[in-house]
Amino acid sequence: MFVTAGLEGIRDGLDPGPPHMENMYEYTPADLRARGIGVLPRTLLHAVEAFAADPLGREVFGDLMFQTFVEFKMREWTEYHNHVSDWELARYLKMF
């Protein structure tokens, strides 16, 4: 997938922009927007939605594998989202 994405960038003449060698975590969202710097998806849900919206994934995986992967990852998100973590128990159980 990564090789295909790289080749797509070369074919389409995409400019990745200059490298950022500084600590990007020090920038606020407003700083990033002002510099025109995008961010990667913050959750599995957003990553799967972005993957599903990009035709390159279907091209590389083929229709069946692409659809199966998207469905699998959406089920994974649902399971994760419905899981009560130790952090949640420790934080919220004491309120009741």
Residue 1 has a pLDDT of 65
Place 4 in a pLDDT band, splitting at 50, 70 and 90: confident
Q: Count how many domains the chain has.
A: 1
Q: How far is Cα 71 from Cα 78, in angstroms, rounded to an integer?
A: 11
Q: What is the mean pLDDT of the chain?
A: 91
Residue 33 has a pLDDT of 93
Of the listed ranges 16-20, 39-43, 47-51, the one predicted with least confidence: 16-20
This model's pTM is above 0.95: no
For residues 83 and 65, the answer to whether their CB atoms sit within 8 Å is no
Quick check: 5 pLDDT over 80? no
The helix (run of H) or strand (run of E) holding residue 56 is: helix 55-61
Place 23 in a pLDDT band, splitting at 50, 70 and 90: very high
In which domain, by residue range, is 55 found? 2-95
